[in-house]
Structure 1
Amino acid sequence: MRLPLRALTAAVAVSTLALSVTGCSGGSSADGGSTVRFGYIGDYNGASLLAIADQQGLWKEQGLDPEYKTFTNGPLQIQALGSDNLDFGYIGPGAMWLPASGKAKVIAVNTLARADRVIAQPGITSLEGLKGKKVGVPEGTSGAMALDLALQKAGMTEKDIEKVPMDPSTVVSAFVSGQIDGAGLWYPLIDTIKAKRPGLEEVASTADFTDRAFPTAFVAPARSDAALNAKVVRVLQKANDWRAAHPDESIDAAASLLKTDRAKVAADAANVETLSTADLVAKTEDGTVDGWLDDLGEFFVGTGQLEKAPAAGTYYEGDLYSKAYKK
């Protein structure tokens, strides 16, 4: 069984190298707005709302000036929040165990994602084919979640493979060079691998688990300013509705922020289900979102990342989300 804080401990060491701290929480920017340091992962899920908020002037409406920081995964951002090196961040479903363990608060659900896969070298056509082989995975992320789900479905455990903890970029290079036989990873990184390692096999996918939801989310420190959180949520909600109404333009905006090829961002967006803010508010108030998070909590108990699954309401700021929309 995996130690509950092992992934976070690894993230601490990496974050020391990965973070460059500039600005202060709530400080004033040159144009008079309050600076907020916002982390994201360089994909459509992580970047689209931030890009839209910039282009549509939504930050200025709330008197805020964002300072963006790119991260390779969610656990690094949770660590940065906890060490006061970040004010807000973005995480995928595989990192949701960290807010559930009290390390952060979920202030807004972003999308439902099915971008995570277990991939294998050409010629390995099933998860069973990875028995006894090296499988690289970024611990505490949705790639690890995809691997654990796939192993459970196949009646296997982590003891059946040789799991090799790696950061996402190392997984990419190790797979391409043939140093590992498989990986738990996500798009668009898998597209990067495909370009250099054609013929790889996708032996499992979160899309296979149609009875589960995999929410991505925006997070704030466990102890944070409720008034500031509400302002940021209003920005995210307006950007979310613009994204829902302008899907093609949203891809353009994300590609511009990421400085990457539009076709790659469009392929990434194909793995994402977006919901209107009104729908997310309704699903918050009827308990649907809590159900998504509770289900993930139980899964993380099974993997050893949580000792006990807390009620979603202890870390999802659903009331804040609903009130921000109605104000």
Structure 2
Amino acid sequence: MKPIRALRHRTAGLFLALALVSTAAACGDGSSAGSDGGPKKVKFGYIADYSGAAALAVAGEQGLWKKAGVTPELKVFTNGPLQVQALGTGDLDFGYLGPGALWLPASGRAPIVSVNMLGLADRVIARPGSGIDEPADLKGKKVAVAEGTSGDMILDLALREAGLQPDDITKVAMDASTVVTAFSSGQVDAAATWYPLIDTMKKKVPGLEEITRTEDYYPKLTFPNVFVTQPKLASGDPELVKRVTGVLKAAGDWIAAHPEESETVTADFLKLPAGQLKGATKYVKILPSGELTKLTRDGTVAGWFDALAADFHRMGKLPDPGKVQDYYLGDLYTAAGKADRS
């Protein structure tokens, strides 16, 4: 049985469990205590940048975990796939994934509990004088990209928009920091990458051209970053998953109402200079939980994930793109009550 098929069966069981939990909650006192009468403990992974840490920073600063009766143990990671691996071994209960890793939920390995933010930072850029003014001009050019990232995704979209195939370009795979070096030194004609790395490139290559932007595809397609959980936890303790999701919803609403202040709170959480994350919110779209609930119910969020899964399928990462209801716990998200500030 393929993983995506297996999760379909687990999801059906999850919805039944959710119904039972909702009934029990209606009859109980709403206590969030663990088996010893204290707060429930969760191990939560994150990435040390604005998008990857803002919700957790705000949840702690605003007392949202305490209100929900949850004690988080926060663990920093360098990327999403490592967090999915930790979810699989039980070393994490929840984690954060950028858009480049969303093929992992679609493959059945980590169901999505909440959309965090929508990325607006990705670009295909070209060196001045390269003869590249639009995606069609990438044909025959040397393009640097960090494979498996959102840069890889926007490059795929740009090629498809121009009617080009991957082998119509010379794709040079390297890590994200090396993309900066290769582009800046003229080793490649173009690059698929993101801000703030592009800010560094602009200093070294004045006049670089932005060929394709994330916003060019919105609202039909967007690059969400998300929070995920263990499949076993989603089906075995949906009450806890709902409580954590409520914290994330409340944190997201606070960020949407205080974007600039959230940059400072996140910098403090990451122990960075106060102004280092200034302007980070320019490169994300922050949707309040009310809007995300609406977009979940009307199928818009499902459309985002289905489109991305289809892209991952074309790129060879997913043998079966499946359906979003198999891995986005939208019913759980809409049912989760927000944790108010204590």
Shared fold per TM-score greater than 0.5: yes
Amino acid at match of 1:253: V
Distance 1:190 1:85 in 2: 34
Distance 2:82 2:184 in 1: 24
Q: Describe how 1:185-264 pairs up with structure 2 within 5 A.
A: 185-210=193-218, 211-224=220-233, 225-260=237-272
Q: Describe how 1:283-322 pairs up with structure 2 within 5 A.
A: 283-322=295-334
- The structure number with the bigger radius of gyration is 2
Partner of 1:173: 181
Match of residue 284, structure 2, among 244, 247, 272 = 272
Give CA-to-partner distance per residue, 1:99-141, whole Å, 9 cap, x none. Answer: 1111211010112222111122333343444433432222222
Distance 2:174 2:91 in 1: 23
Q: CA deviation at 1:54?
A: 1.7
Structure 1 residues 137, 66: closer, same or farther in 2, change over 3 A? same
Structure 1 residues 193, 50: closer, same or farther in 2, change over 3 A? farther
Report the secondary structure of 2:108's partner residue: coil
Partner of 2:43: 37
Partner of 2:80: 74
Amino acid at match of 1:67: L
Distance 1:143 1:37 in 2: 29
Q: CA deviation at 1:236?
A: 0.6
TM-score by length of 1: 0.80
Distance 1:81 1:166 in 2: 27
Distance 1:139 1:91 in 2: 15
Match of residue 89, structure 1, among 82, 95, 114 = 95
Distance 2:188 2:107 in 1: 31
- Identity across matched positions, percent: 51
Distance 2:251 2:286 in 1: 12
Q: CA deviation at 1:309?
A: 2.3
Q: Does the CA contact (< 8 Å) of 1:35 and 1:67 recur in 2?
A: no
Distance 2:191 2:243 in 1: 39
How many residues align structurally?
296
Report the secondary structure of 2:336's partner residue: helix
Report the secondary structure of 2:153's partner residue: helix
Give CA-to-partner distance per residue, 1:26-54, whole Å, 9 cap, x none. Answer: xx9xxx76553333334332221111112
Partner of 1:153: 161
Report the secondary structure of 2:74's partner residue: strand
Q: Does the CA contact (< 8 Å) of 2:250 and 2:338 recur in 1?
A: no
Matched, 1:48 2:57: no
Q: Does the CA contact (< 8 Å) of 1:188 and 1:264 recur in 2?
A: no
Amino acid at match of 2:192: G
Amino acid at match of 1:92: G
Amino acid at match of 1:149: L
Q: Which 5+ residue runs of structure 2 have no aligned equivalent?
A: 1-33
Q: Does the CA contact (< 8 Å) of 1:187 and 1:268 recur in 2?
A: no
Distance 1:170 1:273 in 2: 27
Partner of 1:63: 70
Structure 1 residues 79, 193: closer, same or farther in 2, change over 3 A? farther
Q: Does the CA contact (< 8 Å) of 2:259 and 2:281 recur in 1?
A: no
Q: Does the CA contact (< 8 Å) of 1:106 and 1:220 recur in 2?
A: yes
Q: CA deviation at 1:160?
A: 1.5
Name the stretch that deviates more: 103-112 or 300-309: 300-309
TM-score by length of 2: 0.77
Structure 1 residues 201, 263: closer, same or farther in 2, change over 3 A? farther
Amino acid at match of 1:218: F
